[in-house]
Amino acid sequence: MKVVIVGGVAGGATAAARIRRLDEQAEIIVFERSGYVSYANCGLPYYVGGVIGDPEELTLQTPESFFQRFRVCMKVHHEVTAIHPDRKIVCVRNLENGEEFEESYDKLILSPGAKPARPRLAGVGMDKLFTLRTVEDTLRIKEYVNQNHPRSVVLAGGGFIGLELAENFRELGMEVTIVQRPKQLMNPFDADMASFIHNEMRRHGVKLALGYTVEGFEEEGGGVNVLLKGERSLRADMVVLAIGVVPDTALAKEAGLELGIKGSIVVNERMETSIPDIYAAGDAVQVKHYVTGEDALISLAGPANKQGRIIADNICGGDSRYAGSLGSSVIKVFDMTAASTGLSESNAKKAGLDADTVILSPMSHAGYYPGGRVMTMKVVFEKETYRLLGAQIVGYEGVDKRIDVLATAICAGWQAVRLKDLDLAYAPPYSSAKDPVNMAGFLIDNICRGVLKQWHLKELDSLPQDGSVTLLDVRTAGEYGRGHIDGFRNIPVDELRERLAEIEKGRKVYVICQSGLRSYIAVRILEGNGYEAYNFSGGYRFYEAVVNDRCLIERATACGMDRMSSSCE
């Protein structure tokens, strides 16, 4: 059996190694357009910033090491220019000497990945404008920084690459501005949870120009002017386009393979394309979202590796199937960690699901043990069935392990109430006896049992201010004095039982505290004394972070670029 693989890195290299482990006699040839067959593309921004000092550390395998261990022929700087399924051959060009030749195959694997989106804007292509996708891209950026010592950079795009580059450029002492059309960074997160990411970026001196449209680039006086629609241009010494990626599927289209979202390759559960004996994996393929079952594009290394393994199993006579992608991800944002899995609240509603959420602010470990830090968790579930749909967490410690637990529960098809039953490891330096994941389960179980009724930030503006309902803040007088929501009166929770006469019966009571815990206790006191009470999901801490962030974004949009980092007054 002869297997030809187009593209290395996650999907292609994984498939090649797995085929060899399953079939010692197979002939395996990999054609890779770049000079690297297996590299840590997720580590590229950290080489730019110097966290990873040696570029060789980015290379997981070389053509020589791959051949020595697996007897796989890795041909770098070789571009496949055409596929002819009828003859089962590919046309190849050697990029080093221009030689062109044909290679036959019994099985063909396409792992071309995705390419950076390059909008058709004036100035795209200038030497001070970069993209980041390959090792070669990284080396170009690093060389430019080392030789020219730029003091400022504009990053067009606020996804994974944009945020990681922002941190690394700031560590180099550069002025960094992120500009993009959406009014939030990191689209896998809901806008309210993204507020915490925004605040962390601003805290480290990154300027955020959110809600602005880039119209082009002009080179002037040794720098670049980033032209913005309806706004003065941004000036920088260099620009990196990080506005996303698109599937690199020109070959597949020309070969007649069925294509899907944004030109991605359509595959079945066995990762087979529409043409027999051709498989595809990685960022170039359309998959099913694990929660909704709908078609999706999810460009992450984990799914690509799994898909490569599945292809190898099936080529070698097995019957492996890809169950779909959750989109689980985690990112370092300076001192903070942000992670998500499954559906956000907004995406759940776009998918037609009747979703609800709980928001809580637990400590990363036992409060009495030194060094604990608060994290913010948002867990999304379906109202009627309580099916767990997704989660987002931002914090400083323990974020990654909690998101992985939640991802596992989603994959298991759990109802969200079952989170309370998980038997999770506990010791004071690492967690609490009631782990944050358990706490989310307790909250959802209380909602399911009717013990807890919530109100959310989106309902604030619709709350009556005419006295027909009671708005109650149960924090201490000192906390209330440092900031509160207009219209909310203060009765500290520990005084509530003695002051119930101050709250008129027959009116709904909307309660808030700092994190949601004291207000829940207040709600139970009120319910136990004949009131109908609702607890604010997230607490004043959550409210303040979200509202201040929205204020900053709106003021920057209304008042211009000079206001984009101002405090909200």
Which string of b and e fits 46-55 if b means at least 16 CB within 10 Å? Answer: bbbbeebeee
User: Per the residue annotation, which of 42, 73, 91, 411 is the catalytic one?
Assistant: 42
Where residue 313 falls (left for φ over 0; alpha for ψ -120 to 50; beta otherwise) is alpha
Distance CA 362, CA 379 (A): 13
- Ordered alpha helix ranges (H), 412-538: 436-449, 477-482, 517-528
Helix axes 191-203, 539-559, angle to 10 degrees: 70
Q: Say how many C-beta atoms besides its own lie within 10 A of residue 384's C-beta.
A: 8
Examine the residue annotation and report whether 42 is marked as an active-site residue of this protein: yes
Task: Return the number of other C-beta atoms located less than 10 Å from residue 353's C-beta.
Answer: 20
d(CA 93, CA 78): 6
Strands (E), 198-335: 207-210, 214-220, 223-228, 231-236, 238-241, 245-247, 265-266, 278-280, 285-288, 295-296, 329-333
Burial class of residue 187 (count of CB atoms within 10 Å of its CB; 0-12, 13-18, 19+)? middle
Six-digit token pair at 206? 């990154």
Q: Rounded to whole angstroms, how far apart are CA atoms 562 and 445?
A: 47
Length of the chain: 569
Catalytic residue IDs: 42
